[in-house]
Amino acid sequence: MPSPLARLACRTLPFLFVLSSQFTMASTFVYVSNATDGTLSAFRLDASSGTLTPGPVTQAGPTVMPLAVHGNYLFAAVRSKPYKVQTFSIAPSDGHLTKVSESPTPDSYAYISLDQTGRYLFGVSYDNDIVTVTAVDDGKVAPEPLQTLKTAQNAHSVRIDQQNRTLLVANLGGERVLQYHFDSHTGALAPYTPDHLPAPAGLGPRHLVFAPDNRFVYVLDELQAKVISYALEAHSGQLTEVAVASSLPADTALKPGAPRGPSRVGTPAMQPHADNSQDIWAADIHVTPDGNYLYTSERTSSVLAAFKVDKAHGTLTPVGTFATEQQPRGFAITADSRHLICSGEKSQQLSVFDIDPASGRLTLNGRYPVGNGANWVEIVDR
């Protein structure tokens, strides 16, 4: 008869095998939208080494740009006519994308995101100043929005907080951040009172990110590459300005920029410049999931800027700037806060950086081929 220890081993080994298999099967995939080619590039990430293995390239449509992920679905917005949003299912085994739906959108979306339940998709139009809420059912986006609201000029990003109740819209030309209450049962947006917070004079809010603990919001200004820190009052949804930090060194040769595209801005100082080759042109912002560091991208100088985050007060301390792919529009950070992955609109390479946990400094790990006009990066853990 087997001893008690042997019987315990027999019962334990199958459990350990299943547990080991679960860890073995865990995968991380990286997706990049290539606007010029109209494709989505896929990679598998080795989390321990930071290396990428190229996967299949999926057709999406000309000027595919903003991406968003929820659950097993990747959403991609096509900014050429006819405007649309596509949904792709993500195969957990190899990350392969399969298109499951395609829905028209009322305008060209500069940014898309989803609520915390995945039942609603938010979109903003830079050209026509709107924010929309559209129902999502099993990954499929409804053909018409539930709600369309006018924003200030040049709506550029839309994000929901971790409590799924405060929605913020960054308005570049309007120099403000709009504040809405979101009803997760109906999908309805209602402006808070007041309905917006003005940005410091001359700054144009572009992209924004919530701190992992939901206590602060960081807004990237496109025109001077500054980051505005706001404290978020969870119940009222109101923002209070905390501090402003610059992504670029004081001796930068770049000059303050102006909103790109058709000018509808009344302030003379914010009219587009005839020669914008030396304009500051900040693009993207992300916080490491552990909340320790914040990063931004600036397209004219092709750099990433790093900050140390004071989690208690929401203030930022510059760490330094790091050269990256030419004209870096989008990047993303892995869930373990160990790697940053950046694309460049004028580069056909994707850069993977290691993040130093002690300092936040970036070290290039490797570069990988992508398509033309690479701009948006999403990382998916499965």
Cβ within 8 Å of residue 63, ≥6 positions away: 35, 36, 38, 78, 79, 80
What are the CA-CA distances from residue 171 to residues 71, 125, 161, 330 (Å)? Answer: 28, 10, 17, 18
Q: What pLDDT shows up at residue 268?
A: 54
Q: What pLDDT shows up at residue 23?
A: 36
Spatial distance between the Cα atoms of 344 and 350, rounded to a whole number of angstroms: 7
Q: How many CB atoms lie within 10 A of CB 106?
A: 15
Q: What pLDDT shows up at residue 25?
A: 53
The dihedral through the CA atoms of 40, 44, 49, 51 has a sign that is negative
Q: What pLDDT shows up at residue 351?
A: 98
The dihedral through the CA atoms of 337, 32, 272, 154 has a sign that is negative
Spatial distance between the Cα atoms of 206 and 260, rounded to a whole number of angstroms: 12
Spatial distance between the Cα atoms of 257 and 255, rounded to a whole number of angstroms: 6
pTM above 0.85, yes or no: yes
Q: What pLDDT shows up at residue 272?
A: 77
Q: What pLDDT shows up at residue 134?
A: 98
Q: For 5-14, 55-64, 190-199, 354-363, which range has the lowest pLDDT when averaged over its residues?
A: 5-14
Q: What pLDDT, in 10s, does the model give residues 275-334?
A: 899 999 999 999 999 999 999 999 999 999 999 999 999 999 999 999 999 999 999 999
Q: Which two structure tokens, joined as six digits, stand for 72?
A: 């097993």
Q: Residues spanned by CATH 2.130.10.10 within the chain? A: 153-260+277-323
Q: Which two structure tokens, joined as six digits, stand for 273?
A: 């410049």
Class of domain 153-260+277-323: mainly beta
Q: Which residue has the tokens 């929820």?
A: 70
The dihedral through the CA atoms of 135, 168, 333, 112 has a sign that is positive
Class of domain 60-150: mainly beta
Q: Pick the closest to residue 305 from 373, 226, 229 (CA basis).
A: 226
Q: What pLDDT, in 10s, does the model give residues 30-74?
A: 999 999 999 999 999 999 999 999 999 999 999 999 999 999 999
Q: What pLDDT shows up at residue 274?
A: 82
Instruction: Decide which of 99 and 2 is more confident.
Output: 99
- What does the angle CA 252 – CA 331 – CA 327 come to, to the nearest 5 degrees? 45
Give the total residue count for the chain.
Answer: 382
Spatial distance between the Cα atoms of 207 and 243, rounded to a whole number of angstroms: 17
- Residue 26 DSSP code: -
Number of H helices, E strands in the chain: 1, 29
Q: For 14-18, 97-101, 166-170, which range has the lowest pLDDT when averaged over its residues?
A: 14-18
Q: What pLDDT shows up at residue 162?
A: 96
pLDDT-based confidence at residue 20 (cuts at 50, 70, 90): very low
Q: What pLDDT, in 10s, does the model give residues 224-268?
A: 999 999 999 988 899 999 999 999 999 999 999 999 876 655 555
Q: Residues spanned by CATH 2.40.10 within the chain? A: 60-150
On whether the CB atoms of residues 136 and 121 are closer than 8 A, the answer is yes
Q: What pLDDT shows up at residue 13?
A: 41
The amino acid sitting at 367 is R
Q: What is the DSSP string of 94-106?
A: T--EEEEEEEE-S
